[in-house]
Chains A and B, each alone.
Chain A
Amino acid sequence: MDSHDEIEIADRISRRRVLGTVLAALAFLGVQIVARPVFRSDGYGASGWRAYAWPFNASLLLLLLLPIGGYVWGRRVRALVNDEVSRNNSRVATAAAFWLAMFMALVVYVLPPSVGLTAREAAYLVVTPTSGFALLAFAWLESRALRDG
């Protein structure tokens, strides 16, 4: 494969990654908004494997922000996909999500005790919007970088 092909392939993969990231984030947030499973006794709040579905999904999604994976593309294409710009976009999205996490944690903290959140619910309220936001921010920055012009 010559370097022209590698650049074309990296461009296509980067575009697909934007779409995949948006779809994954929206699916994740959509399920949380519609079903709110952590607050249901038979949902993530239940004991057993269902309780670990949400942190498992959230962890997988957050991995999209790391410059890992894509080992089938080869070292050169992987380096082009996770280039300086993408690594910077990932850092910017992560930093913005950090501030959202701090805000959400403070909101959870000032909620009156009568709300009666469990530690699991509090963690859910911080991590869910934060991880969704981080992914959407990363996708937006990447999409802006890929825009022709």
Chain B
Amino acid sequence: MGDQLENQLREERARRQLTQAQLAELVGVSRKTINTVENGIFVPSTILALRLAKALGTTVESLFRLR
């Protein structure tokens, strides 16, 4: 245990030239959710991780990894 979750959400979002609000709209969550996940403040549920990956056209494994 003691693993930390790293994510590439900000980078993936920037690659697709999306704002936090636009990604939030695609995923169907609040901008606050995107912001907290990007900053590592909030660890998303599996459902949210899957929805983020789907919206960005990538896989959960490429968005999140353990450090």
Contacts and interface: CB of A to CB of B under 8 A. Distances in A.
B31 A7 contact: yes
Interface size for chain B: under 10, 10 to 19, 20 to 34, or 35 or more residues?
A: 10 to 19
Interface of B: 21, 24-25, 28-33, 35-36, 39, 41-42, 44-45, 48
Given A83-B32, A85-B36, A7 B42 contact: no
The A interface is mostly helix, strand or loop, or mixed, namely helix
Contacts of A85: 30, 32-33, 36, 42
Contacts of A84: 29, 33, 42, 44-45, 48
A149 B25 contact: no
A30 to B, nearest CB: 28
Nearest to A80: B30
Contact of B41 (A11, A14, A144, A148): A144
A118 interface: no
Contacts of A7: 21, 24-25, 30-31
A75 interface: no
Interface size for chain A: under 10, 10 to 19, 20 to 34, or 35 or more residues?
A: 20 to 34
Nearest to A14: B32
Interface string A132-149: 000000000010111111
A14 B24 CA distance: 15
24 contacts: A3-B25, A4-B25, A7-B21, A7-B25, A7-B30, A10-B31, A11-B21, A11-B30, A80-B30, A81-B30, A83-B29, A83-B32, A84-B45, A85-B30, A85-B32, A85-B36, A88-B42, A144-B41, A145-B32, A145-B35, A145-B36, A146-B32, A147-B35, A148-B35
